[in-house]
C-alpha cells in the first residue's frame, strides 16, 4: 500500500476532505509553464457530466507528466473537478461581479446539479468515478445576491458559491453527497483509493 497520494488540486477543501478520511497527501501543482485554466475550456454541445469527466482526465494526464518530469517518488495521483449545471448549462467560476450575479440569479428558487469527477492513477492503473448531487436554492432577493457578491466568496468557485460558506443559509435541501458538493465525494474517493491498496 502507498504511504501517500499526490493531490493535483489547489483546493484547500479537497485537502481538508482527504485529511478527514485519513489520507496522507502531498500537493502536485502545475508549474508556471503550465496553462491549467486552458484544460477547463468547454467544448460546444458538451453535457456537464461529460465535460467534468473529460477535464478531470486531462488534469490527471498533466499531473502524471508533471510527476515524471520532476522525478518524484512514485505514488498514486488524484485529480478532481467540480462543475455546477442547470440543465445543459455549465456554470463555471465567475469571471467578474456581473457574472457572479448572473449565476446566483439563475440558481435562485430552483434546483441545480453539482457534478464532481474524481480520477486516480499510478504507473499501471487508472480508475474514475462521477458523483452528481442536486441542490435546491430558496428564492433570492437582489440585495441578498449583492451582499454575497460583495463578500468575494463567489470567486474561484464553480457556480459562484460554496456550500460551506454563507450561501448555506439559502439551501433548502440537497440530494446526494455533501462532500461531493464541497469538491471531493468521499464515498467514491475511498472506493477508488481501495483499488490502490488504501484501507478505510
Burial 28-57 (b: 16+ CB within 10 A, else e): bebeeeeeeeebbeeeeeeebbebbbbbbb
Catalytic residue among 33, 35, 61, 81: 81
Q: How far apart are CA 165 and CA 153, in angstroms?
A: 8
Q: Which residues have a Cβ under 8 Å from the Cβ of 199 and sit 6 or more positions away?
A: 1
Catalytic (active site) residue 81 = yes
Sign of the dihedral through C-alpha 199, 194, 81, 135: negative
Q: Where are the beta strands (DSSP E) in 87-195?
A: 89-91, 111-121, 126-137, 171-175
Active site residues: 81
Amino acid at each position: 500500500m502507498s504511504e501517500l497520494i499526490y493531490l493535483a488540486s489547489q483546493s484547500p477543501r479537497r485537502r481538508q476532505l482527504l485529511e478527514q478520511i485519513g489520507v496522507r497527501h502531498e500537493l502536485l501543482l502545475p508549474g508556471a509553464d503550465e496553462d491549467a485554466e486552458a484544460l477547463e475550456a468547454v467544448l460546444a454541445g458538451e453535457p456537464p457530466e461529460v465535460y467534468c469527466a473529460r477535464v478531470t482526465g486531462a488534469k490527471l494526464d498533466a499531473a502524471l507528466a508533471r510527476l515524471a518530469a520532476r522525478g518524484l517518488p512514485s505514488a498514486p495521483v488524484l485529480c478532481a473537478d467540480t462543475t455546477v449545471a442547470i440543465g445543459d448549462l455549465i456554470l463555471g467560476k465567475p469571471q467578474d461581479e456581473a457574472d457572479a450575479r448572473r449565476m446566483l440569479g439563475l440558481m435562485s428558487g430552483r434546483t441545480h446539479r453539482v457534478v464532481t469527477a474524481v480520477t486516480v492513477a499510478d504507473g499501471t492503473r487508472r480508475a474514475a468515478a462521477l458523483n452528481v448531487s442536486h441542490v435546491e436554492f430558496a428564492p433570492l432577493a437582489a440585495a441578498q445576491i449583492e451582499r454575497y457578491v460583495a463578500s468575494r466568496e463567489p470567486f474561484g468557485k464553480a457556480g459562484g458559491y460554496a456550500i460551506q460558506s454563507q450561501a448555506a443559509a439559502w439551501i433548502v435541501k440537497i440530494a446526494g453527497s455533501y462532500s461531493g458538493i464541497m469538491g471531493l465525494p468521499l464515498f467514491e474517493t475511498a472506493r477508488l483509493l481501495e483499488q490502490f491498496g488504501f484501507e478505510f
